[in-house]
Amino acid sequence: MTFAFLWLFAGPLHGAEFRAGVLQPPRKAPDFTLKASNGAEFRLSRYQGKVVLLGFGYTYCPDVCPTTLADLALVRKKLGADAERVQVIYVTVDPERDTVERLRAYMNAFDKTFLGLTGTPEQLTGVRKGYGVSTRKTVMDKKSGAYLVHHSASIHFIDVAGYLRIMAPFGTSVEDMIHDVKLLLQERQR
């Protein structure tokens, strides 16, 4: 009796759980249009059918952002053929300095398929609001005006139907991300 009860919870219902932070209930990922580092216009809703991994950052960021991008590059690499159905997009939190050219050079250093996105400050604020992303600009050197942009560094997993499903905080292992992406890829398009 007890075992049957345990089996109910541990077995069929929870057998294939996501490992990163699950968003319950799933909500439609807010759509947006931004300028992409490949020169084209990017519209999120056109990517239904793919799993979209969305992150926020900037190219002057030396530690957290390149770590995230290198991890995501590894996720795609280890997915093999499945990687074709995974699109990584990285929205800048520093449109003042991150030009399309800069974003392209930066993305290419990690994975040629990655798309860096930028837009007007208003557009970008709108996107951040939709995903609950906060930023804070901190001037490090008053003379040169050099600054850092602190930001939320989670990766948002959008499923093939365009629903926001998972938020993987910074530091989520590559293995766990692959695991969750595979589960999302197995789902049928709604």
Partner 1 sequence: MNGNQLISNTGFESPCSTKGESCRFSPLETPSVLCPPQEAGFTLNKWGFTLAAIFFLATAACDRAKPEIRAESAWARRAPMMGDGAPPGVASERGNGAVYATVVNAGKTADVLIAGASEAADAVELHESYEMSGMMMMRPAPKFEIPAGGKLEMKPGGYHLMLLRLKRDLAPGEKIKVSLTFEKAGQVSVDAEVR
| Residues making contact with partner 1 (CB under 8 A) | 59-64, 66-67, 70, 96-99, 101-102, 105-106, 108-110, 134-136, 140, 148, 150-154, 170-171
Distance CA 108, CA 51 (A): 20
Nearer to partner 1, 92 or 160 (CB): 92
CA angle (104 as vertex; 62, 30 as ends), nearest 5 = 90
Distance CA 25, CA 144 (A): 46
Nearer to partner 1, 18 or 60 (CB): 60
* Closest distance of CB 39 from partner 1, Å: 17
* Closest distance of CB 7 from partner 1, Å: 37
H or E element in which residue 20 lies? none
Nearer to partner 1, 4 or 140 (CB): 140
* Closest distance of CB 183 from partner 1, Å: 25
CA angle (146 as vertex; 140, 150 as ends), nearest 5 = 65
Nearer to partner 1, 57 or 162 (CB): 57
Nearest to 163 by CA among 179, 182, 187: 187
DSSP state of 189: P
Nearer to partner 1, 104 or 165 (CB): 104
Cβ 111 vs Cβ 72: under 8 Å: yes
* Closest distance of CB 164 from partner 1, Å: 16
* Closest distance of CB 13 from partner 1, Å: 30
